[in-house]
Chain A
Amino acid sequence: SQKIEQNSEALNIQEGKTATLTCNYTNYSPAYLQWYRQDPGRGPVFLLLIRENEKEKRKERLKVTFDTTLKQSLFHITASQPADSATYLCALGAVSGGYNKLIFGAGTRLAVHP
């Protein structure tokens, strides 16, 4: 069955360092991959989308890589700040039955300490 894995343990880092979150998947060939941020008591908020033919995507302090051979995506936050503390969700996507089907990972909680 399709499976998507993110580190279940929280990632604790010091302010100013680079945070790297991992998303691994099996038995799936996604057309694209998305990363979302979720704060406590709130819904997920879209951050970045990377397609299967793209190796890397950047947006301000965020960078996403997508390796379809390793079946892995890495999500980097450079110069991290306490305000970056949240849970980050990885979602694999493909167009299926006329809609963009997403399969979500359980998320990794990031805590950035001053």
Chain B
Amino acid sequence: NAGVTQTPKFRVLKTGQSMTLLCAQDMNHEYMYWYRQDPGMGLRLIHYSVGEGTTAKGEVPDGYNVSRLKKQNFLLGLESAAPSQTSVYFCASSDTGRPQHFGDGTRLSIL
């Protein structure tokens, strides 16, 4: 039982480059989330999805886009990476009102 799987685990980008982070869950959860975690700060919600084909903005959505074409996958895109987007990105999934299940994160450095 894999739970929530994030790829890649590490990535280094140059400013202005683009990339996509992939999240896959095998628990048939309706809801999926993307967070970023920075030192000394709590997890901050970037975007979330309440079901296949739906997405919505979270607390810090600027500079990111998402897509949920399949129920089990939630993609996070950076169109033009900036140093301020250096962070650890976590994906999570859940059912309504239930605790969230997290992946082990993607460590992203923007030079």
A residues whose Cβ falls under 8 Å from a Cβ of B: 4, 8, 34, 41-46, 49, 89, 91, 95, 97-107
Contacts and interface: CB of A to CB of B under 8 A. Distances in A.
A109 B84 CA distance: 25
Given A43-B4, A97-B56, A98-B50, A106 B40 contact: yes
A42 B43 contact: no
A15 B43 CA distance: 29
Interface residues of B, number: 25
A101 B57 CA distance: 12
B74 interface: no
Nearest to A47: B99
B96 interface: yes
A105 B42 contact: yes
Interface of B: 4, 31, 35, 40-45, 48, 50, 56, 90, 92, 94, 96-105
Contacts of A42: 104-105
A13 B105 CA distance: 29
A43 B50 contact: no
Given A49-B99, A97-B56, A99-B96, A104 B104 contact: no
Given A99-B50, A99-B96, A100-B97, A4 B102 contact: no
Nearest to B97: A100
A99 B4 contact: no
A97 B55 CA distance: 12
A102 B50 CA distance: 14
Given A89-B42, A103-B42, A104-B43, A43 B90 contact: yes
Nearest to B51: A98
B56 A107 contact: no
